[in-house]
Amino acid sequence: MPSIGLHLALTLFFLASCLKGEDFKPALGLLPFGLLCDLDSFIGVHRATLHNLFIIFVPLLAMVICNRLNLNIRAKYFILASLLLAFHIFLDAFYNGVFLFYPLSEKSYDLVFWFGLKETGLSVLFTWIVPGKVDEIVYVTNPSPGVPEIPIIGGGAELVVLIFAVLTFVLRFKFS
């Protein structure tokens, strides 16, 4: 599964590219939306309770409620929160799969994408496996509260990417 560090790095890059330099506080407020799906490792069913398509609409629902209550929060922050949730879920979907339609369906969707050169020329593969690999990764095949491991930083390359992401974020919001 993508590590927490990789999700954090992509969130930092995304916010640095979408928000203006003076939006440091909104950027900090949006940061958790790139990570909070993984709270279902502790509450509920991992890769299911907070890793489904319905979760993506929660910030948009909050936007409608805030509008009704005349709370003056800009629409783009809610949309960015939704996009961060969506990015997290689809990234995980390419790493062993997620229960995209939980709780309506208990099928895991493990998306597969490959693009490159083979002896026959350019080749592209896009497919999905339902369910996941039964023997290796039980938790993406059968929804269950157990999680085999939660990497925080999965390797040296991820560490370097995370350092660059933090630098990008700091340079964007503190020195622009």
- Pick one of 9, 23, 38, 97: the residue that binds Zn ion (CB under 5 A): 38
Q: Do the beta carbons of residue 90 and residue 100 sit within 8 Å?
A: no
User: Each residue of 89-127: b (16+ CB within 10 Å) or e?
Assistant: bebbbebbbbbbebeeeeebbbbeeeeeeeeeeeeeeee
Cβ atoms 33, 19 nearer than 8 A: no
By C-beta, is 10 or 165 nearer to Zn ion?
10
Region binding Zn ion by CB under 5 A among candidate stretches 30-38, 53-61, 123-131, 150-158: 30-38
Interface with Zn ion, residue 110, by CB under 5 A: no
Alpha carbon distance 30, 88 (integer Å): 13
Would you say 1 or 165 has its CB closer to Zn ion? Answer: 1
Q: How far is the CB of 92 from Zn ion (least distance, A)?
A: 4
Contact (Cβ atoms closer than 8 angstroms) between residue 32 and residue 83: no
Among 37, 48, 137, 140, binds Zn ion (CB under 5 A): 37
Map the footprint of Zn ion across residues 66-95, applying CB under 5 A: 92
The smaller minimum CB distance to Zn ion, of residues 92 and 110, is found at 92
Nearer CB in complex with Zn ion: 73/147: 147
Q: Site residues (CB under 5 A) for Zn ion?
A: 37-38, 92
